[in-house]
Amino acid sequence: MSYANPSVLTDTESVSKNISNNKINIVEVDYDPENAYKQGHISGASLIWWKRDINDPITRDIVDKKQFEELMSRCGILPENEVILYGDFNNWFAAFVFWVFKYYGHKNVKIMNGGRKKWELEKKQYTKDEPQIAKTNYIAQPPDEGLRAYLFDVRRALDKQDTVLVDVRSVKEYTGEITAPPEYPMEHAQRGGHIPHAKNIPWATAVNDADGTFKSVNELKQIYETKEVTPDKDVICYCRIGERSSHTWFVLKYLLGYPQVRNYDGSWTEWGNMIGNPVEK
């Protein structure tokens, strides 16, 4: 059985054959570009640095429409272009940027299955040369708020039987034993635990350990449906800062084709720090 939307994925072999295709923009998205992009990247790939380029430090929010347009223009992207995203940390941050692309209405965007991990396992070529990119004039669509959950949406969801919250963090984060994963210990919350009634399905259960690629449709259905995360429900995914949950959002919405899935990018750093929000452990 194939994915509900197979066109949102591409493989490393296809990318390697299209490096010189000027109708495709290849973009690496990194949490830590010093130890990823700057050590070598796919030839011609531009860089989106998650912390600097896709987040507004003043508002502690994703970039607004104008900022997104400026970023796309700097990366040489036009609204009609095919964009292929890949990155470090098993494509966590590439999935987050995919979500932002869709939020601002970019139609043809894909994730390279397996990200840097698979490319490196296959010993495919990298370069340290930074590409010379001709600036464009990108015009984005108005935000698609149907893809995003806010604090008030999650509060309302606590009393709704047809809504399911998916906590994609590790078991230790979910139970409150730790408040941040060891990969990056910044941005702790004041409290540990999880949003009441949330189902814990760690993001990593959706990928193959060996190469970081997504599991098959049948395997994915087994993972989510056995935890009552089914396509008839309104699904809200969250983690700690929204990047791992965007990975699960991508799986549910595009690979399994669930009709109503939102990413709560405020996630635990918002919920766990807010006065009055209930917490379970």
Give, in degrees to the nearest 5, the angle at Cα 1 between 228 and 118: 90
Six token digits for residue 251: 């799986």
Sign of CA dihedral 71, 73, 78, 82: negative
Phi/psi class of residue 76: alpha, beta or left (left: φ > 0; alpha: ψ in -120 to 50)?
A: left
- Give me the catalytic one of 220, 239, 251, 255: 239
Query: What is the token pair recorded at 237?
Result: 């995914």
Torsional sign, CA 162, 231, 172, 169: negative
Q: State how beta strands 61-62 and 55-56 pair.
A: antiparallel
Tokens read off for 81: 């272009």
237 is catalytic: no
Contacts of 91 (CB under 8 A, 6+ apart): 85, 111, 112, 114, 115, 212, 247
Q: How far from each other are the two terminal CA atoms of the chain, in whole angstroms?
A: 37
Catalytic residue numbers, as ranges: 239
